[in-house]
Structure 1
């Protein structure tokens, strides 16, 4: 494995950081609701590891196994997410509404950060590319999405391979919760990055970014 870090490695690491920041927000919510966070954290960290240290990538990555290190951080973060969310919803399914708000709010924050970069967002494809700078969907080689249509007014795609189901099944959770919460994240992101567009997800698995 190469000993050198490239642009794609920083890109992936940024996505992991956003995902783990969202995990932190979920845990903070559970604490505010007086849920048994200490007990849950101990069990989750013991089984799936702790979040990545808040240090630069150069300081913490295993340069002898760059791909493997990034893959392991993605898998650990996915499993912790599934565990936290499932435990919270098992306590009370009504908490889902609050989690939806948390996901949507972080999506808006990501959208604002992207706008501050002054990168042009002129069409649906631009938004799709921006979205994939934040959404954690495995490694680039996993190729989970297939584009079905590109135009100025509509960009559509479908997921041909779900990387998340196995993590949710491992902790006896429902991956539908993952997709519902992520949909609220994407909605928040798209509205914030350019409010002339909207996001829609259909029962047949097709997802679209549409000009209003």
Structure 2
């Protein structure tokens, strides 16, 4: 490992790859449903090589932030194009997210679920304090989205509410029947 790269950089890169893989599932869905993605080829793509082989070590944070923007923008574009083609595809979009959560085969308590969710979604660097834990015990973890780092990418005719629905569907798939997700505005509870 490079002396310049810290564990947080690898965590961020894993989150980037996760979101790109989820987005690729939506690209496959669009193609299967003959939805034209005219601007797809103009969007940048993500290199899946090991991080320490591809990162610009002279500008680590800018390199990571650029890739965060690439995957967030790509997700917003693809999902928006699908929904503009047919708004009833929302159910399928959410089902893909839920199935992706189920594929994680997660088993654990609310704290472990929160960590798993945090390891998947790009809510900024820890110093951004985008999420805060409000309450925690062995059967509950209550947290608040303090800063929405995603809405700025939803500029393709569909608002960012769908992003949060996708995310919530993934979480529901992840936690399965063992835990329960409750949401009120930007406050979430994961209960055992």
For the aligned pair, the TM-score class normalised by the smaller chain equals over 0.9
Alignment partner of 1:146 out of 132, 148, 164: 132
* Contact 1:145–1:160 (8 Å) recurs in 2: yes
Structure 2 unaligned segments of length 5 or more: list them: none
Count of matched residue positions in the alignment of Structure 1 and Structure 2: 191
Structure 1 residue 80: deviation in Å?
A: 1.1
Offset of residue 3 of structure 1: 5.9
**What are the superposed Cα offsets for residues 69-116 of structure 1, whole Å, 9 maximum, x if unpaired?**
11110011111111111111011001111111111111122x32x66x
Give the equivalent residue in structure 2 for 1:33.
Answer: 33
Question: Mapping of 1:24-173 within 5 angstroms?
Answer: 24-37=24-37, 39-43=38-42, 45=43, 50-109=44-103, 111-112=104-105, 121=108, 123-168=109-154, 170-173=155-158
- For the aligned residues, what is the CA RMSD? 1.7
- The TM-score, its normalising length taken from structure 1, stands at 0.84
1:210 maps to which residue? 191
**Structure 2 residue aligned with 1:10:** 10
Structure 1 consecutive aligned stretches of length 4 or more whose deviation exceeds 3 Å: none
1:42 and 1:175 mapped to 2: Cα distance? 23
Cα deviation, residue 11, structure 1: 0.9
By how many angstroms is 1:128 displaced? 1.0
What corresponds to 1:22 in structure 2? Answer: 22
| Contact 1:3–1:64, Cα closer than 8 Å, also in 2 | no
Q: Secondary structure at the match of 2:39?
A: helix
How far does residue 171 in structure 1 lie from its aligned partner after superposition?
Answer: 3.0
Higher helix share: 1
**CA distance in 1: counterparts of 2:13 and 2:186, whole angstroms:** 27
Please list the CA deviations of residues 123-157 of structure 1 after superposition, one character each: whole Å capped at 9, or x if unmatched.
32222112211122122222111211111111111
CA drift of 1:59 comes to: 1.7
Tell me the distance in 1 between the aligned counterparts of 2:141 and 2:115.
11
Secondary structure of the structure 2 residue equivalent to 1:94: helix
